[in-house]
Structure 1
Amino acid sequence: MDELFSGDTKFITIVILGAILMLIMALTLILFFYLSRKKIIQKELEKKTLELNHQKEMLKATIVAQEAERNRIAQDLHDAISAKLNVVSLSANFLLEEDNITPQETDEIIHHMLKVTNKTIESSRKIAHNLLPPILEKFGLGAALEELCDEFNNSKKVTVSSKIEYEPGRLSQDNELHVFRIVQELMNNSMRHGKAKGIELNFNPTKENLFLHYKDDGLGFDIEKMGVQKGLGLRNIESRVSLLQGEIHYRSEKEKGVEVEITI
């Protein structure tokens, strides 16, 4: 009888221990899944936070770039338009108010007024061209990029080689302007900061994407310090790429130029 109870006790003990072990395993699994799920949710929240912060930075860069552009336009209007119109106004008032003017002096003043007026018209055309290049509006992005490359080539300060294969109407006019400004900013950076003598531009379409490859032989920069060195120009480029829902990648080393790849 004692042996029977002893056997039952062992069996009950084994069952209880097994149940406790199963319970521990179940609790461990529940805890594991809970912590894993919590970690996944935390990572998703961190990812969303990073995306939101990136969007805020891009929006901030866009606003800063727009303000800088407005300030530049305002300065151009003041220097190139207002100042010249003031000269014309003063000359016209002088002709109307002054009695003792010889015919020769009158001719000289009128000639000067016409000269200043022509310069003002030319300045207004340049400002309008910078705001929206007429060729972009009339003939599209491909022609505008080719004209931009020709303008830099004609400066004799840099040699630009380009291969532009763009189907008209592939992008909206607003997005075409974004791409144009991106290339314009890259070229200006190469000239102003990189002191480049050569630039290569390839703009090729695929069935699904548009691929822009840009390269110069300028001073380059340390890619690891890019976050610290990133100025308004690069932030402006990145904000436009973001608006195009594209991706941008840089390759650069000191004294070895810059390569930029943009996929739209």
Structure 2
Amino acid sequence: MSIEISEVVVIVAAGTVLLFLLIIFLLTLFFIFQRRQLATQQEKAALHAQYAREILQTQLEVQNNTLQQIAGELHDNIGQLLFVAKINLDVFADSLQPGEDQEKIVEANEIVGQSIAELRSLVKSFDGDFVKDFGLFDSLSNVIVRIRKTKKCQVEINLAGEPYSLGYDKEIVLFRIGQEVLNNSLKHAQAKNILIRIEYRPEKIIFCIKDDGCGFDFEPAAGGDILHSGAGLRNMQRRTTLIGATFSIKTAIGQGTEIEITLPNQVEK
């Protein structure tokens, strides 16, 4: 009888061990499957991010090529015509006797000269290589000079910290976003004062543009979610995400708009 009990105990023990081994085997398979699934998802996410970066790079190249072509046409055609007109006005002014509408000719000549200077400034803002050669701060400063000449808005730009290069791809994105924000502040927000702040820290750069325009009701219109807001804000948010930056906006009706972009310094490790 004791022998039969021992055999039962051995069988139960063996069954328990086999069941335990089976559970371990199934858990191992489950964890392997989960790990492979996670690796696959990460691979898909990496491919998607790479694809998005390539799309952004292609868009920037097409945009820069188009703007450079436009800039070339403006310089070669309109710029040359204005230059010829200025020369003719100079010749005409020299041929006039004192008092023969000379003041009007001089005034017209000054206007043409200002138009030439404005055209050159505009051409620089179109040229993406300007950002590559001179950096983010100087490129935005060139845009600000052109805005100040209109006398419609006061624009200030403040620089904090020691500037360093973020790489052309990232700086051209920040520059184009800055252009778009400034354009929105002038055309839609009807701002009278705009403040741009570029703060270089060892670990990150903070790029902020604030205006005193009309603002807008961002929370109800977008549910506080940029992804459900206007195309302009969505494009800004998408571009900042693709270069590894964060995008935030503060605005309310009658309280202006503040847009801040924070970009980690990947070189600083």
Instruction: Determine if the TM-score, normalized by the shorter chain, exceeds 0.5.
Output: yes
Q: Secondary structure at the match of 2:9?
A: helix
Change (3 A) 1:45 1:247: same
Question: How do 1:166-205 residues align onto structure 2 when only pairs under 5 Å count?
Answer: 167=162, 170-171=164-165, 174=168, 178=172, 180-205=175-200
Tell me if structure 2 keeps the 8 A contact 1:199–1:214: yes
Tell me if structure 1 keeps the 8 A contact 2:247–2:261: yes
Q: CA offsets, 1:128-171, max 9 Å, x none?
A: 433569x9899876555456445434533223344223546x32
Question: For residue 29 of structure 1, what is the aligned residue in structure 2?
Answer: 27
Change (3 A) 1:67 1:227: farther
1:38 aligns with 2:36: yes
Which 5+ residue runs of structure 1 have no aligned equivalent? 92-102, 105-110
Distance between the aligned counterparts of 1:79 and 1:71, measured in 2? Answer: 12
Question: For residue 165 of structure 1, what is the aligned residue in structure 2?
Answer: 160
Amino acid at match of 2:189: G
Distance between the aligned counterparts of 2:251 and 2:194, measured in 1? Answer: 16
Tell me if structure 2 keeps the 8 A contact 1:146–1:164: no
- TM-superposed CA distance for 1:249, in Å, is 0.9
Distance between the aligned counterparts of 2:113 and 2:156, measured in 1? Answer: 34
Which 5+ residue runs of structure 2 have no aligned equivalent? 89-94, 97-104
Question: For residue 261 of structure 1, what is the aligned residue in structure 2?
Answer: 261
The one of 10, 13, 20 aligned to 1:12: 10
Question: For residue 61 of structure 1, what is the aligned residue in structure 2?
Answer: 59
Distance between the aligned counterparts of 1:43 and 1:23, measured in 2? Answer: 30
Distance between the aligned counterparts of 2:132 and 2:51, measured in 1? Answer: 34
Amino acid at match of 1:14: V
Q: Secondary structure at the match of 1:260?
A: strand
Q: Secondary structure at the match of 1:171?
A: coil
Distance between the aligned counterparts of 1:123 and 1:204, measured in 2? Answer: 29
Tell me if structure 2 keeps the 8 A contact 1:62–1:236: no
- Tell me which structure has the larger Cα radius of gyration: 1
- Residue identity over aligned pairs, in percent, reads 17
Q: CA offsets, 1:114-141, max 9 Å, x none?
A: x6996885576345433569x9899876
Distance between the aligned counterparts of 2:149 and 2:46, measured in 1? Answer: 47
Tell me if structure 1 keeps the 8 A contact 2:71–2:127: no
**C-alpha root-mean-square deviation of aligned residues, in Å?**
4.5
Distance between the aligned counterparts of 1:234 and 1:79, measured in 2? Answer: 36
